[in-house]
């Protein structure tokens, strides 16, 4: 296409800041704005204070600002049908329809889909009442997994080490409403052993392209201890992923998903983010998300050497994707700096001081930040993603941790062991 695009990026996290940076670098982009954005995004482009769930307001913004293309970052607007709403006013948007987004908005829908299309996953059962859930637990053994069926920002998963702990999780979700309406239905599933890997595919018109396979670190504490979070760091690519393994994943999981959706009368365009467990019996899918992961986006996007925005636009306009995607041979890693107390109670409003110079191929991606009178303040649980790429994961890691140390704010917290499995695997 000849015409450069006016682009709106929806969202306020590190994922969206990374996408905005790709927009700015893309020859396809004439002008880019964000809603609501964050402090780091606001330093380079105009941001509009509209919440991600305010669908009508976001559509009106796109119309008023003569937007040609919308990139939807988070899951909430996708699950509320923003792609459908934008399509109704002839504005292409990257992401699935509301119907297709059920793969993420309803874990029970997703698990039933796997079962129906013979996609390898954990054994499971769905419940909306406590007695039947407790009976099921009594008939099974721990460890066992209890999940809120609806959206819970990556936190609605309890890996129970004992049946008593699982019963407590059931009570918490169904009776105490610890995840609100997201937990009115729960899924209890078999605990799968192995290592997790994230596969992100851009899907369009029955074709797909996979980005670099990555590994996230969900737990707040080092050695993967403590509460689940939205993600405390990631790296890509992971050495666990061989060409053969990728082919198995494509043929047993990604392709059957795309074809299964098609046969169910649900065409799918957008991101398929497969959370996989590499078990002794082969790869099995834990769940799907229908948007890019955060912080995985921060390590995948720097490795894309093609025009990333052109690929997203091709998907949004239902074009057949190219046969391959050009990815760097470098390794990329990110460490999330959070506010102490996250994922529970944490302070906001701390002034953040940054070093004047950054190491080569290193970047500071903002998430929970606020720009006020030219200064950046903390404004969320996950505040920054410190990202670097280099020939080896160790070189990238060294640059990141020296920068984490140099960034100054009162409640700063980060894990010191991101990519520990990869480093152990490589024996370096």
CATH number at residue 197: 3.30.470.20
11 shares its domain with 56: yes
High-pLDDT (> 90) share of the chain, %: 88
Residue 296 in domain:
yes
Q: Residue 188: name the closest of 216, 209, 165 by CA.
A: 165
396 shares its domain with 284: no
Does the pLDDT at position 413 exceed 60? yes
66: left (phi over 0), alpha (psi -120 to 50) or beta: left
Q: What is the mean pLDDT of the chain?
A: 94
19 shares its domain with 75: yes
206 shares its domain with 309: yes
User: Per mean pLDDT, which of 105-119, 155-169, 400-414 is the most reliable?
Assistant: 400-414
Q: Around Cβ 357, how many Cβ atoms within 10 Å?
A: 7
Does the pLDDT at position 152 exceed 70? no
Q: Are strands 5-11 and 69-72 parallel, antiparallel or unpaired?
A: parallel
Query: What pLDDT, on the 0 to 100 scale, is given for residue 172?
Result: 87
Query: What pLDDT, on the 0 to 100 scale, is given for residue 20?
Result: 98
422 shares its domain with 361: yes
Helix-helix angle 130-138:163-174, to 10 degrees: 170
Q: What does the DSSP assignment read for 185-240? A: SEEEEEPPPSEEEEEEEEEETTEEEE---BEE--EEETTTEEEE-S-SEEEES-TT
264 shares its domain with 210: yes
Residue 115 in domain:
no
204 shares its domain with 298: yes
Q: Judge if pTM exceeds 0.85.
A: yes
Torsion of CA 23, 28, 34, 35, to 10 degrees: -120
389 shares its domain with 360: yes
Question: Rounded CA gap, 240 and 66, in Å?
Answer: 45
Does the pLDDT at position 183 exceed 90? no
CATH number at residue 349: 3.90.600.10
90 shares its domain with 178: no
Domain boundary among 83, 99, 115: 99
227 shares its domain with 312: yes
Residue 141 in domain:
yes
Question: Rounded CA gap, 382 and 368, in Å?
Answer: 6
Does the pLDDT at position 1 exceed 60? no
Question: Rounded CA gap, 339 and 242, in Å?
Answer: 36
Is residue 292 a contact partner of residue 9, using CB atoms and an 8 Å limit? no
Does the pLDDT at position 37 exceed 70? yes
Mean pLDDT of 74-81: 97
Question: Rounded CA gap, 75 and 53, in Å?
Answer: 10
**Where in 253-359 does DSSP place strands (E)?**
270-279, 282-289, 331-339
Cis omega (within 30 of 0) for bond into 343: yes
Domain count, the chain: 4
Domain boundary among 271, 288, 316: 316
Mean pLDDT of 134-147: 92
CATH number at residue 171: 3.30.1490.20
The residue segments making up the domain with residue 405 are 331-426
263 shares its domain with 283: yes
Residue 325 in domain:
no
Backbone phi, then psi, for 377, in 5-degree steps?
A: -125, 155
Residue 116 in domain:
no
Residue 166 in domain:
yes
- Work out the pLDDT band at 175, boundaries 50, 70, 90: confident
Query: What pLDDT, on the 0 to 100 scale, is given for residue 107?
Result: 85
146 shares its domain with 243: no
Residue 267 in domain:
yes
Is residue 268 a contact partner of residue 117, using CB atoms and an 8 Å limit? no
- Work out the pLDDT band at 184, boundaries 50, 70, 90: confident
Residue 75 in domain:
yes
- Work out the pLDDT band at 80, boundaries 50, 70, 90: very high
- Work out the pLDDT band at 328, boundaries 50, 70, 90: very high
Query: What pLDDT, on the 0 to 100 scale, is given for residue 154?
Result: 61
């Amino acid at each position: 296409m000849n015409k450069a695009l006016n682009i709106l990026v929806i969202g306020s996290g590190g994922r969206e800041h990374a996408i905005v940076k790709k927009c700015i670098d893309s020859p396809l982009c004439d002008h880019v704005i964000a809603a609501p954005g964050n402090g780091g995004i606001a330093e380079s482009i105009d941001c509009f204070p509209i919440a991600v769930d305010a669908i009508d307001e976001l559509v009106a913004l796109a119309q008023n600002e003569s937007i040609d293309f919308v990139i939807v970052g988070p899951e909430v607007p996708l699950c509320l049908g923003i792609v459908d709403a934008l399509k109704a006013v002839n504005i292409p948007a990257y992401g699935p329809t509301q119907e297709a987004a059920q793969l993420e908005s309803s874990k029970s829908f997703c698990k039933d889909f796997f079962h129906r299309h013979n996609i390898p996953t954990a054994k499971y059962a769905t419940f909306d009442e406590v007695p039947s859930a407790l009976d099921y637990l009594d008939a099974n053994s721990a460890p066992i997994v209890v999940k809120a069926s609806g959206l819970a920002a990556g936190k609605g998963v309890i890996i129970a080490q004992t049946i008593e702990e699982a019963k407590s999780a059931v009570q918490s979700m169904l009776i105490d409403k610890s995840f609100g309406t997201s937990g009115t239905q729960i899924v209890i599933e078999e605990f799968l052993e192995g290592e997790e890997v994230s596969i992100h595919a851009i899907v369009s018109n029955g074709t797909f392209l996979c980005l670099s396979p990555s590994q996230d670190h969900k737990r707040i504490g080092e050695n993967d201890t403590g509460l689940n979070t939205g993600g405390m760091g990631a790296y890509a690519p992971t050495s666990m992923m061989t060409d053969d393994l990728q082919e198995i994943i494509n043929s047993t999981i990604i392709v059957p998903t795309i074809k299964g959706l098609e046969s169910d009368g649900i065409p799918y365009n957008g991101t398929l983010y497969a959370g996989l467990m590499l078990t002794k019996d082969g790869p099995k899918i834990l769940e799907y998300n229908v948007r890019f992961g955060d912080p995985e986006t921060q390590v995948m996007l720097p490795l894309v050497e093609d025009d990333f925005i052109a690929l997203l636009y091709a998907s949004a306009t239902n074009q057949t994707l190219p046969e391959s995607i050009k990815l760097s041979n470098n390794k990329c890693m990110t460490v999330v700096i959070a506010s102490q107390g996250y994922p529970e109670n944490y302070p906001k409003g701390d002034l953040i001081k940054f070093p004047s110079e950054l190491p080569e191929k290193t970047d500071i991606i903002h998430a929970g930040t606020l720009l006020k009178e030219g200064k950046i303040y903390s404004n969320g649980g996950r505040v920054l993603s410190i990202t670097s790429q280099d020939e080896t994961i160790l070189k990238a890691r060294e640059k990141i941790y020296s920068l984490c140390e140099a960034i100054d704010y009162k409640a700063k917290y980060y894990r010191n062991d991101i990519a520990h499995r990869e480093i152990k695997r490589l024996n370096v």
